[in-house]
Structure 1
Amino acid sequence: MRTTTRPLNFSASGCVPSPQTSPRSNTMDFPALKEAQGKLNAARKSLADVFAEAGPTMDLAQVKSIDGDNTNKVGWIRTKNEEIEALAREVEGLEQVQKAARNASQYEAPAPQAEVKEREFKSLGESFTQSLAFKGRSGPVGPAAHLDIEMKALFETGGGGGAGWTPETTRTGRVVDLATRPIQVTDVVPLGSTAQQAVVYMEETTFTNAATEIAEAGTFPQAALALTERSSSVRKIAVYLPVTDEQLEDEAGARAYVNNRLPFMLRQRLDSQILVGDGNAPNLKGFLNVSGIQTQAKGADPTPDAIYKAMTKVRVTGRATPGAVMIHSTDWQGIRLLRTADGVYIWGNPSESGIERLWGLPVVVNEVITQGTALVGDFQNYTELAVRRGIDVQVSNSHSTYFIEGKQAIRADMRAALVVYRPAALCTVTGL
Structure 2
Amino acid sequence: MSKLKMLQDSAQAAAKSAREIAEKAAAEGRSLTADEKSDYDQQMAKGRDLLEQIKTAKADAEVLDQAKSLAQDIGGHAVDDLVLQKSADNTEKRMKNLGLEVVSSPQFKSMLSPFKNADGSIHIPDRASVKSDPIKLKSLFTGGSGTSAGAFVVPEQTGIIEMLGRRTLTMRDLISVRRTSSDTVEYVRQTAHTNAAAAVPEAQSAAPIDGTTVTNVTGGLKPEGSWTFERVSTSVKTIAEWVPVTKRALADAAQLEDLIRDELEADLAEAEENQILNGDGVGENLTGILNTSGIQTQAFDTDIFTSVRKAITKARVIGRVVPNGVVLNPVDVERVDLARENGTTGRFLGAGPFTMGPRTLWGLPIVESEAIPEKTGLVGDFAKAVLWDREDATVTFSDSHADFFVRNLVAALGEERVAFGTTRPTAMVETTVAA
TM-score relative to the length of structure 2: 0.64
Q: Is 1:203 aligned to 2:189, yes or no?
A: yes
**What does residue range 160-199 of structure 1 map to in structure 2 within 5 Å?**
162=148, 165-199=151-185
Structure 1 residues 348 and 319: alpha-carbon distance in aligned structure 2, compared to 1, 3 A threshold = same
Deviation digits for residues 383-408 of structure 1 (CA, Å, limit 9, x no counterpart): 11111111121111111111111111
- Root-mean-square deviation (CA, aligned residues, Å) is 3.2
**Equivalent in the alignment of 1:294:** 296
Does the Cα contact within 8 Å between 1:356 and 1:363 map onto a contact in 2?
yes
Contact 2:74 2:104 in 1 (8 A): no
Which residue number in structure 2 is paired with residue 318 of structure 1?
Answer: 319
Equivalent residue runs for 1:117-196 within 5 Å = 129-134=67-72, 151-157=137-143, 159=145, 162=148, 165-196=151-182
| C-alpha distance in structure 2 between counterparts of 1:401 and 1:393, whole Å | 20
Q: Is the Cα contact below 8 Å between 1:194 and 1:388 reproduced in 2? A: yes
- Say whether the 8 Å CA contact 2:316–2:322 is kept in structure 1: yes
Report the counterpart of residue 215 of structure 1 in structure 2: 202
CA contact (8 A) 2:188 2:232 kept: yes
C-alpha distance in structure 2 between counterparts of 1:346 and 1:135, whole Å? 79
Match of 2:151, SS? coil
Q: Do 1:273 and 1:284's aligned partners in 2 also have CA atoms closer than 8 Å?
A: yes
* Structure 1 position 371 matched with structure 2 position 374: yes
- Counterpart in the other structure of 1:348: 351
Aligned-partner residue type, residue 418 of structure 2: A
Distance 2:427 2:395 in 1: 36
Q: Render the CA deviation track for 1:403-431: whole Å, top value 9, x for unaligned.
A: 11111111010110111110111101115
Contact 1:156 1:165 in 2 (8 A): no
Structure 1 residues 151 and 356: alpha-carbon distance in aligned structure 2, compared to 1, 3 A threshold: same
Alpha carbons of 1:351 and 1:226: their partners in 2 closer, same or farther (altered >3 Å)? closer
Give 1:419's aligned amino acid.
G
Do the aligned partners of residues 222 and 161 (structure 1) sit closer, same or farther apart at CA in structure 2, a change above 3 Å counting? Answer: same
The residue number in structure 2 matching 1:246 is: 248
Match of 1:236 in 2: 238
Q: Which runs of 5+ in 1 are unaligned?
A: 1-114
**Aligned equivalents of 1:162, 1:127: Cα separation in 2:** 26
CA contact 1:129–1:135 (8 Å) conserved in 2:
no
Shift of the alpha carbon at 1:209?
2.9
Q: Is the 8 A contact 2:377 2:433 kept in 1?
A: no
Check if 1:275 corresponds to 2:261: no
Q: What secondary structure sits across from 2:332 in the alignment?
A: helix
1:166-213 superposed Cα distances (whole Å, 9 cap, x missing partner): 511123112211134232322211210111212101112232333331
1:336-387 superposed Cα distances (whole Å, 9 cap, x missing partner):
111112612111344445742111211112221111110001002x111111
Secondary structure of the residue aligned to 2:145 is: helix
Equivalent position SS for 2:314: helix
Q: Is the 8 A contact 2:380 2:429 kept in 1?
A: yes
Matches of 1:151 and 1:304 in 2, distance apart? 80
Question: Is the Cα–Cα contact under 8 Å of residues 304 and 433 in structure 2 kept in the other structure?
Answer: no
Secondary structure of residue in 2 paired with 1:159: coil
Give the match for residue 23 of structure 1: none
Structure 2 counterpart of 1:188, one-letter code: L
**TM-score, length of structure 1 as denominator length:** 0.64
Deviates more, 1:217-226 or 1:228-237: 217-226
Paired with 2:158 and 2:244, the residues of 1 have a C-alpha distance of 25
Unaligned 5+ residue runs, structure 2? 1-51, 79-99, 106-135, 204-216
Q: For the Cα contact (< 8 Å) 1:347–1:354, is it kept in 2?
A: no
- CA shift in 2, pair 1:136/1:198, >3 Å: same
Partner of 2:241: helix, strand, or coil?
A: strand
Q: Contact 2:279/2:288 (CA < 8 Å) preserved in 1?
A: yes
**Is the partner of 1:131 in helix, strand or coil?**
helix
Matching of residues 407-418 of structure 1 within 5 Å: 407-418=409-420
Please tell me whether the aligned partners of residues 327 and 374 of structure 1 are also in contact (alpha carbons under 8 angstroms). yes
Is the 1:348–1:354 Cα contact (8 Å) retained in structure 2?
no
Residue type of the alignment partner of 2:233: S
Deviation at 1:284, TM superposition (A): 0.7
Q: In terms of mean alpha carbon deviation, does 186-195 or 129-138 score higher?
A: 129-138
Structure 1: distance between partners of 2:274 and 2:266? 12
* Alpha-carbon distance between aligned partners in 2 of 1:180 and 1:133, rounded to the nearest angstrom: 60
Tell me which of the two structures has the higher relative contact order, counting C-alpha pairs closer than 8 angstroms and 6 or more residues apart. Answer: 1
In structure 2, distance between residues paired with 1:169 and 1:323: 54
Letter of the 1:215 partner, please give it.
Answer: E
Separation of aligned partners in 1, 2:402 and 2:394: 21
Q: Verify the 8 A CA contact 1:199 1:419 in the aligned structure 2.
A: no
